[in-house]
């Protein structure tokens, strides 16, 4: 599965548009990590607990979008965009979407 944030692939020609595909997830870390994150807020620096949480969410959302494209029989996804929203304290949503395409 080829992925691109551009509207096209430089080295492949798009033969057919399959439609919108998307994947999303909302993830949280356990309360112990939330306590650590709150303490990091006191001393400053990177909140690694939440960096990992967002990375997990990003990969899971991406995998779900790719599964959605595969179900349509697509070869690639163009125009990929990521969006993020806070749903509740200590949890975040990542939505990734794009246009599934078949290539020549």
Partner 1 sequence: MEKLGYILIGSVALLWIIAMVAGLIVVLPYGIIGLVILAGFGLLFAKVLKERLTSKEDDYYSKNVQQ
List of residues contacting partner 1 (CB under 8 A): 27, 32, 35-36, 48, 51-52, 55-56, 59-60
**Minimum CB distance to partner 1 smaller for 4 or for 60:** 60
Q: How many contiguous H segments (helices) and E segments (strands) does the chain have? A: 2, 4
**DSSP H helical ranges for the chain:** 31-43, 48-71
Nearest distance, CB of residue 7 and partner 1, angstroms? 28
**Minimum CB distance to partner 1 smaller for 20 or for 56:** 56
Nearest distance, CB of residue 94 and partner 1, angstroms? 12
Say if CB 29 and CB 50 are below 8 A apart.
yes
**Minimum CB distance to partner 1 smaller for 52 or for 81:** 52
Query: In terms of Cα–Cα distance, which of 73, 59, 63 is closest to 19?
Result: 73
Say if CB 70 and CB 23 are below 8 A apart.
no
Nearest distance, CB of residue 9 and partner 1, angstroms? 26
């Amino acid at each position: 599965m080829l992925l691109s944030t551009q509207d096209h692939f430089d080295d492949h020609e798009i033969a057919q548009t399959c439609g919108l595909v998307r994947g999303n997830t909302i993830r949280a870390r356990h309360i112990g990590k939330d306590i650590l994150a709150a303490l990091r807020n006191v001393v400053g620096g990177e909140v690694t607990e939440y960096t990992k949480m967002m990375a997990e969410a990003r990969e899971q959302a991406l995998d779900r979008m790719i599964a959605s494209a595969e179900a349509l029989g697509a070869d690639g996804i163009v125009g990929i965009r990521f969006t993020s929203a806070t749903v509740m304290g200590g949890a975040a949503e990542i939505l990734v979407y794009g246009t599934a395409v078949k290539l020549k």
